[in-house]
Amino acid sequence: MNMRMIAVSIATLILGWDGLSASQNRIHPEFDLLDVEGYKVIESHNPVSTMKTCGQCHDTEYIDSHSDHVRPQQRVAYEFESPDPGSDVPFDADWLKTYGRRHVGGGPARELGFEMNCFLCHIETVDREAMMGEMRRERFEWAVTASLGRTGLVARVGDSWIWKRDALSEQGRWPIDRIALRGPTDENCGACHGLVHRGSAPLVIPEGNPAELTMTLRTGSIFSGQRINDSGISTVSKEQTIRPWDVHAERVMRCSHCHFSLNNPAYSLEIAATRPLHLRFDTRRQSFSEYLHRPSHQFARGRGSMDADPSNEPVTMRRCETCHDAGPMHRWLPYPELHFQKLSCEACHIPTSPMAAVREIDWTVAGADGKGGVRYRGIEGEWGDPNAHVTGFQPVFWPRLDEDARTRLAPFNVVTTWFWTAGDPPQRVSPAIVAAVFHDGVACRPEALERFDSNRDGVLSDEELILDTRDKRDWVAARLTDAGVVNPRIEGDAQPFGIHHGVMRREFALCECVSCHAGESRLYADLEVSPTAPFDAEPALRRTGGIGDAGRIVRATDGRWVARMNREGDDAPEFYVPGADRNAAVNRIGIGFMAVVVFGVAVHGSARIVTGRRRRQ
Amino acid sequence: MLIKFKLMLSLLVCLCLVSDEVESAIRDNPRAKVPKPRSHTDHSTFFSQPFPDGSSVTRACLECHKSAASDLMKTAHWNWVGDEAVLAPGHDQPVHIGKKNLMNNYCIGIQSNWVRCTQCHAGYGWEDDTFDFSKQDNVDCLVCHDWTTTYNKDPNGAGRPDPKVDLLAVARSVGYPKRANCGYCHFAGGGGDAVKHGDMDGSLLNPRERIDIHMSRHKLECIDCHQTKNHLIPGRLISVSIDAKNRFDCTLCHAPRPHKDMRLNAHGSAVACQTCHIPRIAPEEATKMVWDWSQAGDKEREKRIGDPHQYTAIKGEFQYAVNIAPEYAWFNGTADHYLLGETIDPEGVTAMARPLGSIHDATARIWPFKVHRGKQIYDLKNRYFIIPKTYGPGGYWTEFDWDKAARLGSQATGLDYSGSFGFASTEMFWPINHMVVTSRQALACKDCHGQGGRLNWESLGYDGDPAVRGGRLRTGILIPESEGGR
């Protein structure tokens, strides 16, 4: 069996299985909805228990025990809702009431009654509002049931939920022919992770909580196969922008094709490091029935941008070259192997983001909603405003340590969070305390208006709420001190986010030699980090996600903070880019050669002249 | 030394030429197949006297172009019927069919309505079934060769020119047919611009690239593809023919496997070029999608609605659509057409014209269609459709009397009319061939495959999306070419 046959077999298996999961009703049998005691809910009138219901066939205890989505010590990575992302916080009722909208339940939440909500990812129409409503009322045991509100299986009656017998099957079971249970769709993933879109309706930025567009906000990525010029987003040169938002989405790939369940036998592929030399393809694998009984809910993942130590979290996702054979498609490229060693695929295939992304989150101030100001890059106008003009941005190229221990250039967006800290060791100041400086709970404080309301309209806009002068900074610090904050000071946390989605196909990729190998090299282009940093504050770069030493935040000559890659002449340069970098030794050798040539020509010419004269004489 | 150098140079040049030839044989180079710009003879000095009528112009033309009329008279543009009898599905004997004797679900049929319908005939005076198809004077040269764009046929003149037309000026202007000449009839089929086809309308006269790449960026004329010999214009629609003769396809100019991506080329065995490269129909001008004759006759409603695109008393109720996705069906180039006198199931939907082919047919490919749906009059007892007389004295448009219209129409067709009538549903498939967009605007994978794709794979005969379940060959629906299939 040659490699092509192996690849075809694997692809067939993957696609075949994928088709199976997408076929929705064809595989999943009808089942009883059970409550936590194991009684049918239609008789007990209790909330549904997924542990019991789904546990009739699937090992729900196993799923609940290992999945990142439910695991204890869930890290709060919601930098848009807290000035302190990345730290561990108590997993309690308050946490669920705040962040539960994007939590799948289970794990520690189970102790509060919020079981793993399988329906969030396995049915099409989830009623998140109803689910959150129950959580806000601390009726966590009803949250899963409420999320079925749009299926018609349950109806709210007063403060409670009633199971509707006529909506169930004749046997009182889940009507699988009407309400499909299937593998997660892009929409299921996108509900928490970012903007995904399918279909022919023009893509627009949805209304609602932008914090749920994490991937899009952090990196500008949109997972959609729609061509940009067909979308409803006003972009630069839209009519000519005929590429899709993501070529993989255009080619009908789904989130779960790359972020697959780790024990899904369809994706079983032994890595070269552990594969015996004599064996190219191992046919032995877990059966589908075994998989369906205990499907791993740990999904293939790349290196997390916020992972401080690359060895902490194993990278389980395949690399581009697992599916793609770059060689045949890059025959036009001089020194292809060298390029592949120095550049990540993303560097050339995601050289720009057509979509805007977050640039800064400023918790040193607070708006009327008590939250920090969010500033974007690549957009003229308000995020979510259909009239806003999206200009996109060019990510910075920074070296990234890959799993094969090579350092390659990869595109990053940098999101800087500004916040107040206090005490020693420093603790981040609560947003509520900062908000109280600006608002009295009803309206803006007059003294805040006096200092910040530059247009005197009685409202503090995001543009006005900036601590760009010593006076403003000191005034807020004084108010915080008055509120009991000890030694308040501003810190900036510059978090790089690797960009992996929004891939362009070859026609739109970076492929002109002069783009990189020239004085104005794209590889060394700056990314603006903060044009409006709080007065005298300095962003500190988080070296997470495998970023090498050559990536740094510097103050440009015009005073702006920018993300930049070190080059020849700087400290710790990691790359020498011919045509873009100056190397003294190379220059000296070149000048030497030049001098020798000129000298040779001069000597030869002189000799010819002299001998010519002699000959004539 | 010099000789060696010359030899090497010659060898190098030869190598370059050979490699270029080899490459061009592989590469898709449609421009090379487009006919060279035509030479045109200026006719402005040929005529000095005014022409009293169209026939006198024709006689003048024939003085030089002696075989032109006889050539045209062999074609469907003149006869409105195919030159060969064809065996229609369900019939024992071959029949000559064409616009002359077929029905559709727009204006229904020309019989008894000649005077109005033959405005688009390339001739003069076809106003009843006694028209002399052998008389060369009746040939209308000007409608196809006028370059003034002022030539116009009288809507009530059975193809004769509008009396206001300056025939001398038109005759002096003549040249090869341009878009406006073809479009005079083909853009306006069904009673107005864009009404009938969905892929041909006035926007093609001077289109933007997003409407048609051939006629915009590449400035092609209709006859660059419909390459005419002796007035025989290739290209036929299933609305008037059921066999695959006298047709051509994209490979007239394009390579059979023109894509760089081998997967796209592999689509060619199951998907027509048009399917991906004509993603929308009627992109600019709305086309008629539904025509319900049964609602006709309500003058009050016409006044109330006040929009002839929704309702007219003489024609009934309409639905138009613009920039919509086509419908898709297997098509092997042949078709089935409703023939006069065929019995119908009034409760069902009768296909006036439908493509033949299926997933099991190796010669069939998935093709885009505009499907025009209608409701039209049929004989309640004989259970066949009737061509009613709509135009002229006694016609429905004058007297709003369906019974009389059916009786007069049946006299013209020779079919028995029982005296009772009803209305039955019909549908008619119109293959989409024009308004081709660039590869950049063509359908992408996700438009057809995956969830939310526009193709209904089950209705096309697949078990599911072939991107994941396999196509006709992989799933054994077709035998591979090496074993006799394609």
Residues of B in contact with A250 (CB under 8 A): 444-446
Give pairs for B448-456: CB < 8 Å, separation 24+.
Answer: B449/A252, B450/A198, B450/A252, B450/A254, B451/A22, B451/A185, B451/A198, B452/A198, B452/A199, B452/A200, B453/A252, B454/A200, B454/B325, B454/B328, B455/B328, B455/B366, B456/B328
Q: What mean pLDDT is predicted for residues B200-211? A: 94
Query: In the prediction, which pLDDT does B481 show?
Result: 58
What residues in chain A have per-residue pLDDT under 50? Answer: 1-25, 74
Residues A576, A412: Cα–Cα separation, whole Å: 20
The CB-side HSE value for A464 (13 A sphere, CA atoms) comes to: 18
The arithmetic mean of pLDDT across residues B354-362, rounded, is 95
Name the least confident of A3-17, A586-600, B336-350, B380-394: A3-17
A251–B445: do the CB atoms touch at under 8 Å?
Answer: yes
The answer to whether residues A356 and A414 touch, using CB atoms and an 8 Å cutoff, is: no
Helix (H, G, I), strand (E, B) or coil at A561: strand
Mean pLDDT of the residues in chain B: 91
Chain A hits for B451, Cβ within 8 Å? 22, 185, 198
Question: Does any CB of chain B come closer than 8 Å to the CB of residue A257?
Answer: no
Bond prior to A425 in cis (omega within 30° of 0): yes
What is d(CA A465, CA A374) in angstroms, rounded to the nearest whole number? 11
Q: Rounded to an integer, what distance in angstroms lies between the CA atom of residue B473 and that of residue B486?
A: 8
Q: What is the mean pLDDT of residues B163-187?
A: 96
Quick one: tokens of A3?
């490699």
Q: Taking CB atoms and an 8 Å limit, are B452 and A199 in contact across chains?
A: yes
> In this complex, is the C-beta atom of A16 within 8 Å of any C-beta atom belonging to chain B?
yes
Segment B154-177 shows an average pLDDT of: 96
Q: Looking only at Cα atoms, what is the longest distance across chain A? A: 126
ipTM: 0.73
- Locate tokens 């603790």: which residue? A427
Predicted TM-score (pTM) of this structure: 0.82
Measured CA to CA, the distance from residue A195 to residue A206 in angstroms comes to 8
- The confidence score (pLDDT) of residue A17 equals 43
Q: Please give the structure tokens belonging to residue B244.
A: 């695959």
pLDDT-derived band at B40, boundaries 50, 70, 90: confident
Residue pair A412/A563 in contact by the 8 Å Cβ criterion: yes
pLDDT at B7: 52
Q: Which residue has the higher pLDDT, B479 or B33?
A: B33
What are the DSSP calls for A93-148, one per residue?
A: HHHHHHHGGG----GGGGGGT----THHHHSS---HHHHHHHHHTT-GGGHHHHTT
Q: How many CB atoms lie within 10 A of CB A476?
A: 24
Average the pLDDT over B284-303 and give the result. 97
Distance CA A551, CA A496 (A): 10
Considering only residues B159 and A8, tell me which one the structure prediction assigns the higher pLDDT: B159
Cβ contacts below 8 Å, chain A against chain B, sum to 45
3-state helix, strand and coil shares in percent for chain B, rounded to the nearest 5:
30, 15, 60
Average pLDDT over residues B163-178: 96
Q: Mutating which of B451, B455, B473 best tests the A interface, going by the most A Cβ atoms within 10 A?
A: B451
State how far the Cα of A349 lies from the Cα of A327, in Å rounded to an integer.
15
Q: Is A324 on the interface with B (CB under 8 A)?
A: no
Question: Scanning every residue of chain B, which has its alpha carbon at the shortest distance from the alpha carbon of A244?
Answer: B444
Check B451 against A198: CB less than 8 A apart.
yes
Two tokens, residue A31? 């089942």
CB contact under 8 A, B445 and A242: no
CA distances A254 to A7, A247, A317, A551, Å, are 19, 11, 14, 32
State how far the Cα of A462 lies from the Cα of A466, in Å rounded to an integer.
8
Q: What residues does A161 pair with on adjacent strands?
A: A156
What gap in Å lies between CA B285 and CA B203, rounded to an integer?
7
Contact B375, B433 (CB under 8 A): no
Here the tokens at position A314 are: 């194993």
Partner-chain contact B444 A23, CB within 8 Å: no
Dist CA A43 CA A156 (whole Å): 17
CA dist., res. B143 & res. B151, Å (int): 7
Residue B234: exposure state from Cβ atoms within 10 A (0-12, 13-18, ≥19): middle
Name the residue facing B468 among A19, A185, A227 (closest C-beta).
Answer: A19
Instruction: Specify whether the CB–CB gap between A235 and A392 falls below 8 A.
Output: yes
What pLDDT does residue A9 have? 43
What are the phi and psi torsion angles at A410 (to 5°)? -145, 155
Element (H, E) at B404: helix B402-413
Q: What is the CA radius of gyration of chain A?
A: 29
d(CA B140, CA B145): 9
C-alpha dist (Å) from residue B76 to A102, B84, B145, B431: 67, 11, 17, 19
Range A122-159 burial, b when 16+ CB lie within 10 A, else e:
bbeebbbebbbbbbeeebbbbbbbbbbbebebbebeee
Res B34 pLDDT > 90: no
Contacts of B138 (CB under 8 A, 6+ apart): B55, B58, B123, B124, B125, B126, B131, B132
Per-residue pLDDT of B107-121, as tens digits, reads 999 999 999 999 999
- CA–CA distances in Å: residue A202 to residues A192, A205, A206, A229, B444: 21, 10, 11, 9, 15
Selecting from B325, B450, B469 the residue whose C-beta is nearest the C-beta of A252 gives B450
Other CB atoms within 10 Å distance of the CB of residue A523 = 22
Torsion of CA B455, B457, B460, B462, to 10 degrees: 160
Percent composition of chain A: helix, strand, coil (DSSP 3-state, to 5): 35, 15, 50
Cβ B467–A199 below 8 Å, yes or no? no
The letter for the amino acid at B294 is S
Can you tell me the mean pLDDT for B240-248? 90
With bands split at pLDDT 50, 70 and 90, how would you rate the model's confidence at B384? very high
DSSP A398-444: EEEE-TTS-EEEEEEEEEEEEEEEETTTTEEPPHHHHHHHHB-SSSB
- By C-alpha distance, the chain B residue nearest A242 is B440
Instruction: Judge whether B370 and B432 are in contact, CB under 8 Å.
Output: yes
Predicted pLDDT at B190? 92
**Residue B241: how many CA atoms within 13 Å on its side-chain side?**
20
What tokens were used for A108?
């520690």
- Residue from A230, A543, A319 nearest A412 by CA: A543
Q: Which residues of B touch A (CB under 8 A)?
A: 325, 440-441, 444-447, 449-454, 464-465, 467-469
Strands A561-565 and B316-321: unpaired
Q: Is the pLDDT of residue B19 over 50?
A: no
Nearest to A252 among B445, B464, B469 (CB): B445
Tokens of A417: 């969070």
Residues B385 and B410 sit within 8 Å (Cβ to Cβ): no
> Would you state the pLDDT for residue B351?
97
* Cα A215–Cα A207–Cα A306 angle in degrees, nearest 5: 20
**Contact of B57 with B51, CB cutoff 8 Å:** yes
Contact between residue B150 and residue B181 where contact means Cβ atoms under 8 Å apart? no
**Amino acid A543: pLDDT:** 87
Phi, psi angle pair for A24, to nearest 5°? 60, -95
CB atoms within 10 A of CB B147: 19
Contacts of B440 in chain A (CB under 8 A): 242
Residue listed under structure tokens 């025509």: B291
Interchain pair B449, A225: CB under 8 A:
no
Closest residue by Cα to residue A133 from A157, A159, A152: A159
Mean pLDDT over B416-432 rounds to: 97
**A212 C-beta neighbours (distance < 10 Å), count:** 21
φ, ψ (nearest 5 deg) of residue A221: -85, 140
